[in-house]
Amino acid sequence: MFVDLDPSGTHFVGFCPFHEEKTPSFTVYPETGTYFCFGCEAHGDVIAFLMHKESMTYGQVCEALESYLFTNDLFPTS
């Protein structure tokens, strides 16, 4: 997994993969499919990001985000 993400309400946060940091400021918004880093202001389409980083297909990313919204688990182990 590219980054540890913790559920935080309707979004989740983790350490930014784009810059070094000691407190998580990388925020992903599953409902809009976007991410934003409050540390370095990196932002973009989380679907394209996961497809590139995790070698997932568009369908796999959509499924992961959908299941996250219901289970707060981005990458179900099953």
Residue numbers at the binding site for Zn ion (CB under 5 A): 16, 18-19, 37, 39-40, 42
Give the span between the Cα atoms of 21 and 48, in whole angstroms: 23
Q: Is 58 helix (H, G, I), strand (E, B) or coil?
A: helix
Give 18 or 29: the residue with its C-beta nearer to Zn ion.
Answer: 18
Smallest separation (angstroms) from Zn ion to the CB of 4: 15
Give 29 or 62: the residue with its C-beta nearer to Zn ion.
Answer: 29
The structure tokens listed for 15 are 């350490």
Give 18 or 60: the residue with its C-beta nearer to Zn ion.
Answer: 18
Cβ atoms of residues 19 and 39 within 8 Å: yes
Smallest separation (angstroms) from Zn ion to the CB of 28: 12
Smallest separation (angstroms) from Zn ion to the CB of 43: 9
Q: Is 51 helix (H, G, I), strand (E, B) or coil?
A: helix
